Amino acid sequence: RSLEMDLRGALASDQLQVVYQPIFDVQQDRLAGFEALLRWSHPVRGMVSPEQFIPIAEESGLISSLGEWVLRTACMEAGQWPEHIRIAVNLSPVQFYNTGLSSTVMSALASSQITPDRVELEITEGVFLQETNTTRLTLQQLHEMGVRLALDDFGTGYSSLGYLRKASFSKIKIDRSFIRGIDSPDGENVPIVRAVVALADSLGMITTAEGAETPEEIHALRNIGCTQVQGFAYGKPMSYEAASALVASME
C-alpha cells in the first residue's frame, strides 16, 4: 500500500501536525480545553483526512508510534497553557493491544509540564469489543495515574450501557449525529440528549456535546444541561499558535 509507505515516512519528514479544537464549558461560560486532532499534509496528495489514514495506521501497527507522537506533542504544547486548560487526546483501540500504553502515557506526562488531571484520554467502545486482561489493567493504571477518561462517540455503534462501567470515566462525549435539530422543541434528538445528560449526571460524569455549528444549538445544549460544547460554532481545529492566541484572549 503506497499510502502506508508514505505514512511510515510522514513522522520523520515533518508532515504531521497536531491541531486543537476548543471545548467550551457552557455552564460556567469559559474555555475548558482543547481536543488534539492529528493532521497529515502529504507532499503530493495534500491534506489526507484522519478518517482515511487512521485505519491504515491501525492495520499496519503504525498507530502506536503515531499515537505516542500525538500524545507527547499535545502534552508538551498544552503544558504551556494555564492550568485550568485541559487537553483531550484520542486513543485508538489498537493502542490498547500493547502492554506499554500506560508507560507511554506516564512518560509523555513526565517529559512535559502538564499534570495528569489536565489530560483526558478519549476512547471509544471499540476498546471493549476485544477486551482483554491487558485492556482492563491498562484502564486501571491510567485511572490510578490520575488522567481522565472520556467515552467518545457515545450513542453510535453498539453503545451498550455496560461500557460505562468498564472504566472510571469522567466524561461522556455525545456524538455529533445527536446534535442535529437540537434547537427545535420537537426535535427528535432532544429527548435522547436529555436522557444522556441525566445518565451522566447520575453516574457523576460530565458531558461534552460534539458538533454544535450554530449559536442556537449552543443555547439549546446549555439549557438541556450539557456541561461542555465542542463544534464549529466555537471553532474549528486550529494550529497550536492559534489555540494559544485563543487562550490568551480569554485571560
Q: Interface residues for Na ion in 172-211 (CB under 5 A)?
A: 173
For 76, other C-beta atoms within 10 Å of its C-beta total: 16
Give the chain's length.
251
Element (H, E) at 164: none
With H, G, I as helix, E, B as strand and everything else as coil, classify residue 6: helix
Task: Identify which of residues 101 and 151 has a Cβ nearer to Mn ion in the complex.
Answer: 151
Q: How far is the CB of 125 from Mn ion (least distance, A)?
A: 13
Binding status of residue 6 toward Na ion by CB under 5 A:
no
Task: Identify which of residues 154 and 240 has a Cβ nearer to Na ion in the complex.
Answer: 154
Element (H, E) at 82: none
Separation CA 190–CA 184 (nearest Å): 8
Binding status of residue 152 toward Na ion by CB under 5 A:
yes
Task: Identify which of residues 175 and 217 has a Cβ nearer to Mn ion in the complex.
Answer: 175
CA angle (168, 169, 172) in 5-degree steps:
165
Question: What is the grid cell recorded at 15?
Answer: 508532515
Binding status of residue 58 toward Mn ion by CB under 5 A:
no
* Rg of the chain over all Cα atoms, to the nearest angstrom: 18
Residues that bind ligand G (CB under 6 A): 21, 37-38, 49-51, 54, 67, 70, 90, 92, 152-153, 176, 210-213, 231-232, 237
Task: Identify which of residues 98 and 232 has a Cβ nearer to ligand G in the complex.
Answer: 232
Instruction: Kindly report the backbone phi and psi dihedral angles of residue 151, in degrees, each rounded to the nearest multiple of 5, phi listed first.
Output: -90, 110
Q: How far is the CB of 185 from ligand G (least distance, A)?
A: 22
Q: Interface residues for Mn ion in 117-176 (CB under 5 A)?
A: 122, 152
Binding status of residue 25 toward Mn ion by CB under 5 A:
no
**Residues making contact with Na ion (CB under 5 A):** 152-153, 173
